[in-house]
Amino acid sequence: MSKRSNWSIPYLIFLIFFVVLPLILVLVYAFQDNAGRFTLGNITKFFTDKDALSTFAVSLEVALETTLLCILLGYPAAWILANKKYNRSAVTIVLFIMPMWVNALMRTLATAQLFTMFDITLGKGTLLFGMVYDYLPFMIYPIYNVLSRMDPSYAEAAEDLGATPATVFRKVTVPLSMPGVASGVLMVFMPTVSTFAISEFLTNNKIKLFGTIIQENINSSMWNYGAALALVMLIIIGITSLFSKDNEEVEGGLI
């Protein structure tokens, strides 16, 4: 039996090569200049670059607003879907999950085309709408997952003890569904803060997001500065992922 634990070795080597080493390279490139000498220049460049800083702020703002809107719209939907009184068909849930499996670029393009068709000017409003549209299923699904697995006897017990339906919702349902909200936040915030193509489509390049700057630097061979910007994003991602520790359980059951 114990020998079979060795079967993990090929994957371990693969992970070191294709996950750990690349991340170390981001760190190395971020602290090097063109000639490969150590420098803090890329980092200080970011903190003195007004354009990069304002783009960074806009990205954070857009990602936060998208996430918040997704919670506000998605939580009630997930609650209704998980509630047997209101929904008994599995088809509705499949309909909500389905867009998650369609290429995000395609969906975004469809939305952008719809805006153009109705002569809606592309800008901040369309950006937010499109992002919420793209990522709402990613908020609904994990919350739905937690709510539908919740033991109904907790709510019943609270009711028996005299709580009103509103109190039950506030004191029992919401706290118990927090893991779902946390992984929803992760699944919405991470891609929105790091996207580049989606924002370009939805605003016709009027609003630049942080991802676009990373992409522009990498593509114009400014690898070191690009790596430094990627490092900044990695730190944001690291901080965000601290907020939700047990997301893998929900993600593992995606289909």
Partner 1 sequence: MKKILAKIYIWVLLVILYAPLVFIAIFSFTESKVLGNWQGFSVNLYKNLLTGNMQGNSSLLSAVYNTLLIALVAAAFSTLLGTIAAIGIHNLKGGRKKAITFLNNIPMINPDIITGVSLFLLFVFLRISQGYVSVILAHITFCTPYVVLSVLPKLKQMNPNIYEAALDLGATPSQALWKVMVPELRPGMVSGFILAFTMSLDDFAVTFFTRGTIGLDTLSTYIYTDARKGGLTPELRPLMTLIFILILVLLVIINVRQDRMNKKQAAQ
Tell me which residues in 32-61 interact with partner 1 (CB under 8 A): none
Tell me which residues in 56-85 interact with partner 1 (CB under 8 A): 73, 76-77, 80-81, 83, 85
Near partner 1 by CB under 8 A: residue from 72, 110, 157, 178: 110
109 contacts 171 by C-beta, under 8 angstroms: no
CA distance 77 to 93: 10
CB of 68 to partner 1, least distance (A): 17
The residue assigned the tokens 């997952």 is: 145
b/e per residue 71-93 (b: at least 16 CB within 10 A) = beebbebbbebbeeeebeeeeeb
Near partner 1 by CB under 8 A: residue from 103, 153, 166, 239: 103
CA distance 62 to 56: 10
Letters for 187-226 (x = contact with partner 1 by CB under 8 A, - = none) are ---xx-xxxxx--xx---------x--xx--x----x--x
- Of the two residues 140 and 161, which places its CB atom closer to partner 1 in the complex? 140
DSSP 44-103: HHHHH-HHHHHHHHHHHHHHHHHHHHHHHHHHHHHHHHH-TTT---HHHHHHHHGGGGS-
Q: What element of type H or E holds 27?
A: helix 21-30
CA distance 29 to 81: 47
Tell me which residues in 2-21 interact with partner 1 (CB under 8 A): 2, 4-12, 14-16, 18-21
- Of the two residues 5 and 161, which places its CB atom closer to partner 1 in the complex? 5
CB of 93 to partner 1, least distance (A): 9
For residue 181, give every residue at least 6 positions away whose Cβ sits within 8 Å of its Cβ, in sequence order, or none: 71, 75, 142, 143
Near partner 1 by CB under 8 A: residue from 44, 113, 167, 220: 113
Crossing angle of helices 50-82 and 174-194, rounded to 10°:
140
- Of the two residues 155 and 161, which places its CB atom closer to partner 1 in the complex? 155
- In the chain the first and final C-alpha atoms are separated, in Å, by 31
Size of the site for partner 1 (CB under 8 A): 87
Near partner 1 by CB under 8 A: residue from 39, 41, 68, 92: 92
Tell me which residues in 119-178 interact with partner 1 (CB under 8 A): 133, 136-137
CB of 154 to partner 1, least distance (A): 21
Contact range with partner 1 by CB under 8 A, out of 39-47, 153-161, 171-179, 228-236:
228-236
CB of 57 to partner 1, least distance (A): 18
